[in-house]
Amino acid sequence: MAGTQSAASDAILARLLNLHPKIIDLSLDRMVRLLDALGNPERDLPPVIHIAGTNGKGSTGAFLRAGLEAAGKTVHAYTSPHLARFHERIRLAGELISEDTLADLLAECEEANEGNAITFFEVTTVAALLAFSHIPADYCILEVGLGGRLDATNVIDDPALTIITPVSLDHQSYLGETLTDIACEKAGIIKPGIPVVVGRQEEEALKVIAEKAILNKAMVHAFGADWSVRREANGFSVQYPNGLLDLPRPALQGDHQFENAGAAIMALSLLGLDNEHVATHAVTRAEWPARMQRLREGPLIDAAPNGSEVWLDGGHNPAAGEAIATLIADMEEQTPKPFYMVCGMLNTKDPTGYLEPFQGLVRRVYCVSIPGEDATLDAEDLMDVALDADLDAIAVENVATAIRLIAGEESTDLEPPRILICGSLYLAGRVLRENG
């Protein structure tokens, strides 16, 4: 029965993929048309928190949702892409959308669209907004898919709050070649009179965001100027206009997560929900798969040497590579282990920028193609990039082969290794599915 139910939404999703010749075509016209045909459900949502940025959107949203729920609030959430199954993108009052509900919503959107051209992300975003309009909740967290100004989520005229996490170079073919161009697109979610929480930014990106906020008379709450974080021996502190909170280490791994958690605390403060209980639960109960997620069981773990650490991360741009490499270096300082990478990336990314921060850390990079992805960077091509970046690298058939090589002929270390599977959320999703 479960397989039959899954096929209902899968079949509709497959049809929706064919409604537009492009995967990405940034515009709001098609969104406006379909939302109007459905009675404008985007106007009947609980207070919306809209999050844009290059890195940290999902983590910041996860911290924020954990805090809101600790305050006794019910929360809708929309994120992308999914890892194992589409249902992960839509949470209704805290729970993943059910198969029956998803299939019914997709069918309703498909019928209302009447076969008109619309991208997959646009029509499924409409389905999420329709779902959110049907179920009561206290808040709704919307994560931007790409950019901000013309992103399908940018149809909310009066959110309660907007957040812009760190902006860096990514998706240049769609958002512009410079950091200024990209920041301008991200800043497109800023709305008149609506406060905006801003994470750490390069000076040129912050300038663009601040100028957009001034034009919209939107109060900026910027990292460094209005709120800050400081690492402590057993945790960290967040200082913000309403006070100072001493908190335990975030549940999500990496130094960058201190600032993502800080942005969430600043947002909770603006919502009047920044007490110590809420903030502590926000940072300790946040869950975000494939963001330095340690895999502890499954076929891949069984194939790895006993005592191995196997980590999974979907970061895929230079800023993500730098953040992950910093975390690995900290791990190495605290508990030295032979470190190996299994990496697969899309051909739309910057593999050199992603891999270079691992120089001097990784013993060997096992390069794989991402199964089922037309835009995958071929394993041989990724190997050439890694070699050019002065990393020892070989191309292998798949992740399982890489693990076996590390466990056997390629590893003679007495100490169990630390293995990082990385480079793409699409690879991470594949790993999570195959590893059960």
Rounded to whole angstroms, the Cα distance separating 151 from 10 reads: 24
Report the C-alpha dihedral over residues 15, 7, 105, 84, rounded to 10 degrees.
Answer: -90
- CA-based R_g, the chain, Å: 22
- At 256-285, the pLDDT tens digits run 899 999 999 999 999 999 899 999 999 999
Which pLDDT score, from 0 to 100, does residue 60 have? 97
Rounded to whole angstroms, the Cα distance separating 406 from 368 reads: 14
Q: Which of 124-128, 182-186, 212-216, 318-322 has the lowest mean pLDDT?
A: 318-322
- At 1-45, the pLDDT tens digits run 233 445 799 999 999 999 998 888 889 999 999 999 999 999 999
- Beta sheet of 364-367, edge-to-edge order: 293-295, 309-312, 418-422, 339-343, 364-367, 393-395
Cα–Cα distances in Å, from 23 out to 121, 143, 253, 307? Answer: 8, 18, 32, 42
Q: Is the peptide bond before 81 cis (omega within 30 degrees of 0)?
A: yes
- At 137-154, the pLDDT tens digits run 999 999 999 899 999 999
Q: Is 0.75 surpassed by the pTM of this model? A: yes
- At 49-102, the pLDDT tens digits run 999 999 899 999 999 999 999 999 999 999 998 988 999 999 999 999 999 999
Query: What is the residue type of 70?
Result: A
**Residue 162 φ/ψ, nearest 5 degrees:** -120, 155
Task: Report angle CA 247, 53, 27 to the nearest 5 degrees.
Answer: 150
**Residue 75 φ/ψ, nearest 5 degrees:** -135, 125
Token duo for residue 374: 């037309």
Residue 237 predicted with pLDDT over 60: yes
Q: Is 4 exposed, middle or buried (0-12, 13-18, 19+ CB in 10 A)?
A: exposed
Could you give all domains of the chain from N- to C-terminal order, each with its CATH number? Answer: 2-284 (3.40.1190.10), 293-434 (3.90.190.20)
Token duo for residue 369: 């193609």
